[in-house]
Amino acid sequence: MTGAPSAGAAAAPIPTALLGGSGYVAGELLRLLAGHGGFAPAAVVSESRAGEPVGAAFPHLAQAWSELSFTAAGALDALFASSRRAVLVSAAPHGASAPAVAAALGLAARRGCALVVVDLSADFRFAEAAAWSAVYGHPHPAPELLASFERGVPEHLGAPGGDRFAHPGCFSTAVLLPLVPLLSLGLIRPEVAVTAITGSTGSGRAPSATTHHPERRSTVVAYAPLAHRHEPEIVELARRATGVTAELSFVPQSGPHARGIYATLHARLARPARADEVAAALAEFYDASPFVTVATAPPRLIDVAASNRAVLGVAARGDQLVVTSALDNLMKGAAGGGLQWLNRRFGFPETQGLAAPGPGWL
């Protein structure tokens, strides 16, 4: 979806606040905003690094944002008091994002600031509080807000109807991009198996025994097979987009690379078809989607790393179908997808700030 900028989009950059500001996703969004022009970071919230220059956490951004420092959450009140409208993007951890978003919405309402929210955590991806609690094991922190969020991959929804958006997780985005059209077009039986390998940035900035680089280097290991929290998220978002409840077997894996997800989807075709026929159907489905490419050759992860592109590769034999899906977890699966939502909401071209190709090597 693209569109001419609205009158508001042509005005001064829209002040933008980031929660979870010192994490990888927030750093990626700051990198994108440096080349966008329509949004200006006005508060980068990090309680642990408040007062430090943004360049201290992200040296590669030191020149782009030389005057920008991390703030505490208290800075949001002054921002909303001085702004007629603003944007809030939350890259805070799940469980922490919802109460922080709720508090920010309350502040903005009291100050008369129209606030657009994009949540990149998992807190608003389910429409029902009970479904969220079943996955995360405790009550939802802000159930009263769930109904106000639009949720899903931008390519699978129409023009934004509100001001609050929940972007799916990176694994979910990689699986939903092939799964939704396959189900929508009736091309497959609704029993699907997916294996997906992710880079270490998907585990966040704080190292752990399993994400520390010497533990991941030169190896691949599965984790939470058939029990990962993104499995019910994928099923629910696919159902909302297609009306079909799929039976999903999901096996995530940790890879030795830093960024990118490579997912392999196995399904049975509803009727035998050639790979080029299925690829053509998927390509037509994404004809108006500038970031999704479909081919019959398997994609390479390096070709999409650090870009907002996703590439799907199709193989078929008889009634067997394999679709491989490659995307960057920090971009299409998080910060880039969030910026797509903002571009749509404010009438910018969907590719604005996102059109740069990946580096080709890392």
Active site residues: 170
Q: How many CA atoms lie within 13 A of 103 on its CB side?
A: 13
Q: Which are the contacts of 230, defined by CB distance < 8 A and separation ≥ 6?
A: 169, 171, 172, 175, 250, 252
In order of 24, 154, 156, 192, 352, the CA distances from 1 in angstroms are 27, 9, 10, 28, 12
User: Under a CB-based contact definition with an 8 Å cutoff, are residues 71 and 93 in contact?
Assistant: no
Which is nearest to 163 in space by CA: 116, 121, 105?
Answer: 116
**What single letter denotes the amino acid at residue 217?**
R
SS (H, E, C) 42-81: EEEECHHHCCCEHHHHCHHHCCCCCCCEEECCCHHHHHHH
**CA–CA separation, 307 vs 328, rounded Å?**
7
| DSSP 8-state assignment for residue 89 | E
Question: How many C-beta neighbours within 10 Å does residue 268 have?
Answer: 14
- C-alpha closest to that of 340 among 23, 1, 114: 1
CA 195 to chain centroid: 19
How many Å is the Cα radius of gyration of the chain?
A: 20
Helix (H/G/I), strand (E/B), else coil: 148: helix
Amino acid of residue 318? G
